[in-house]
Amino acid sequence: MRRLQYVIVLLAGLFLAALACSPAGNEPSAAELTATALSGALQQPATDAPADTPEAEATNEAETPPEQVEEQPTAPPAEASGARETATAVVLGATATAAARDAAEAAEAEALAATLAPIQAELAQYGVDPNAGSLGWVHPPVEISVEGFLQYDWDVDLVRVVDDFVIAADITMNTQFGSTGCGYALRSDGKEEAVNQYVTIATRGGSGRVLFGTMIDGNLVRDDSKDIFAGAVDPNFEWQNDETNRVAVVGRGNTFSIYTNGLFIGDITTDNALERGLVAFIALNESGTTHCLFENAFLWLLD
């Protein structure tokens, strides 16, 4: 919880014044191991030498064919068989791993596409090319409650530094006073004191308003701030307690466009350009209690 009297007082002053106015590697292959049986038989041709001569006897002996032995294929050695089995196991294991990886990547791509589809459709409503930029985050629901006089709090669970961006969320408010409410800190330097940032706050005051403020060294720059009568522009803006409005801000350079429930309600070009900083959900409280709920929030980073 942080004290921010200058924010509350100056924003309240602005409000009242407005009323007055996720690679595959090389997969191993099994080596084909073979064993070849070598065989051969050498036969000498017969001669016609006389039978009663030593030469004839030698010839007769030579003519008697040796006993034929049927040769059997030589079995591969045990080491070769084991190597083949090992190589086969490696190939099968690598194939299974690749298949599992491919399945996981496909599931991840499918989930991302399902997440991006509604966001890209919404970006088109804000005049943003859905094919330009990238997703910064999709935020889980956030609740911020603030009690006490001139208090505020913020949530920076998913810290992100931005320059050009789109931020949107369903904001449900419950406040005791109409001059305080719920919204965003944009391109903030995060200082405890003398902060530099932009703020966009949805309030219940005056049947629904959205305040945009530029803060330099902790002071609200009135000429760089704007009070937008959202209830008059957006017929769907709900200003009562516990009602929900979708509030979006498109920031390009020093120009900011504000949308509620998909409708453009106004923009502002500031003279004090804060080029880069943090984004956060914030709740401002004048007195009593302010409760803010942020749901279905996303941050889109513009190219």
Distance (Å, whole) CA 10 – CA 213: 9
Distance (Å, whole) CA 175 – CA 284: 9
Place of tokens 């504000």: 258
Q: What is the pLDDT of residue 54?
A: 47
Longest Cα–Cα distance of the chain, Å, equals 148
Check whether 38 has a pLDDT greater than 60: no
State the DSSP code for 126: T
Question: What are the tens digits of pLDDT across the range 85-134?
Answer: 787 778 877 787 888 787 777 777 777 778 889 999 999 999 999 888 99
Domain boundaries, the chain: 81-125, 132-301
Q: What is the pLDDT of residue 261?
A: 97
State the DSSP code for 288: S
Top-level CATH class of 132-301?
Answer: mainly beta
Chain centroid, CA 230 distance in Å: 32
Q: What is the pLDDT of residue 43?
A: 37
Q: Which amino acid is at 236?
A: N
Q: What is the pLDDT of residue 42?
A: 32
Question: What are the tens digits of pLDDT across the range 196-250?
Answer: 999 999 999 889 999 999 999 989 898 899 999 999 999 999 999 999 999 999 9
Distance (Å, whole) CA 90 – CA 56: 65
User: Would you call 124 helix, strand, or coil by DSSP?
Assistant: helix
Q: What is the pLDDT of residue 104?
A: 75
